[in-house]
Amino acid sequence: MKILHRYIATQVVGGSILATLILLALLNFFSFTDELGELGDGDYGLGSVFLYLTLTSPRNFYELIPSGALLGSLVTLGALANNRELVAMQAAGVSRPRIIWAVLRGGIIIAFVTALIGEYVAPISERTATELKAAALRQQIASRTKYGFWLRDGNVFINIREIARQENLGDINIFELSPYGRLDSASHAKRAIYDGEKWRLKKLTRTQFGLDEIKVDSTPEADWSSVLAPDLLNAFVIRPENLSAVDLSNYIDYLQENGQKSLAVEQAFWGRIVNPLVTLVMLLVAVPFVLDYRRDVSAGQRIVMGVTLGIGFYLFDKVFGHLGLIYDMNPVFSSAFPATLALGLALFAIWRTSTS
């Protein structure tokens, strides 16, 4: 019995991973064609494109694994049904609940791997990819440290401690060096606002270092003729999808302590919790199509069925999530409802199949 359980679980895991990798390859192909439109801008060359796609693959894999599990299980379990292996198992005394449990055991392995990727790999690689692309397109050297966001533009070094939005910055330090590496000036501004055309510095203090003297000037407001691009800063704005579940939890506490809205972050947090469980739900969705044994259903028909169901669930999940933000729904409800609905329909279909 254990051998049969292991066999079914192995088939499910292998088929699901293979299907997800195929979907990922297709997605990366379409992404590659999109990236070609920006090829040659700044330092964004072909090597940068492939590196960007490589770094975004963990996030895409994480999001595609539920659909891949559905598609892979339909194909692999369908093959077992067409080869009458499932019939032979049931004739040998393996009940349908045991077959379903064997499928779910494979799903638990997939869900565990998915959770690890979503928590430890995808957030880091996605942030790195975004920063790499933004810096390459603008030919500017940028990095994030515990001391804020640093940007180099020629002989000008800019340190930004606060990025509320890409057009609203706080606690800015600007250091200008001479061609010989000597510090010419150091400026500090409390805020910087981008009006669509140029930056405006608020409460600016500038210190100029001459050969014989140091001069300090202060002004309440001044133009800043910087090539600093707001869309480059957009790569460093905190995005919920680029954070791990632990970071999301800490960020929720920070927003609530400071009286800021946290609904989008809460929804992202619960979505991160629910996503591995969605994989198990997708496997259950596939089960009634296989247990309702029909030898005339080809692998191609099952693939079409899996793609249709997978895309349909993905779109419904995204649309319902956006509706949850628009209508201020409970984040747990808006994150879990699509999966719960799919689970209910799958269990009902399994019950109908077992009683028919």
DSSP states along 145-200: ETTEEEEEETTEEEEEEEEEETTEEEEEEEEEE-TTS-EEEEEEEEEEEE-SSSEE
- The average pLDDT across 137-165 equals 69
Model confidence at 110, pLDDT cuts 50, 70, 90, reads very high
More confident residue, 251 or 57: 57
Q: What is the mean pLDDT of residues 67-85?
A: 84
Q: Which pLDDT band holds residue 257 (cuts at 50, 70, 90)?
A: confident
Q: Write out pLDDT tens, residues 174-198.
A: 898 888 778 888 989 888 888 777 7
Q: Which amino acid is located at 200 in the chain?
A: R
**Mean pLDDT on 144-151:** 67
| β-bridge mates for residue 217, sequence order | 206
The pLDDT tens digits of the residues spanning 197-255 come to 778 888 889 888 887 788 888 888 888 776 566 655 655 566 777 778 888 888 788 67
Q: What is the pLDDT of residue 145?
A: 59
pLDDT, residue 33, reads: 92
Q: How confident is the model at residue 356 (pLDDT cuts 50, 70, 90)?
A: low
Phi-psi group of 109: left, alpha or beta (phi > 0 → left; psi -120 to 50 → alpha; rest → beta)? alpha
In tens, the pLDDT along 287-298 reads 887 776 555 566
Distances (CA, A) of 286 to 13, 103, 106, 208: 14, 10, 13, 70
- Model pLDDT, residue 258: 64
| Residue of 64, 48, 46, 54 lying closest to 28 (CA atoms) | 54
Question: Rounded to a whole number, what is the distance in angstroms from the first to the last CA of the chain?
Answer: 26
Confirm if 248 and 227 have CB atoms less than 8 A apart: no
* Closest-CA residue to 352 (of 308, 289, 300): 289
User: Taking a C-beta distance cutoff of 8 angstroms, is the pair 352, 291 a contact?
Assistant: no
Token code pair at residue 256: 């609530």
Q: Tell me the Cα Rg of the chain.
A: 27
What 3-state class would DSSP assign to 213? coil
What pLDDT was estimated at residue 116?
92
In this structure, the strands spanning 141-145 and 156-165 are: unpaired
The number of residues making up the chain comes to 356
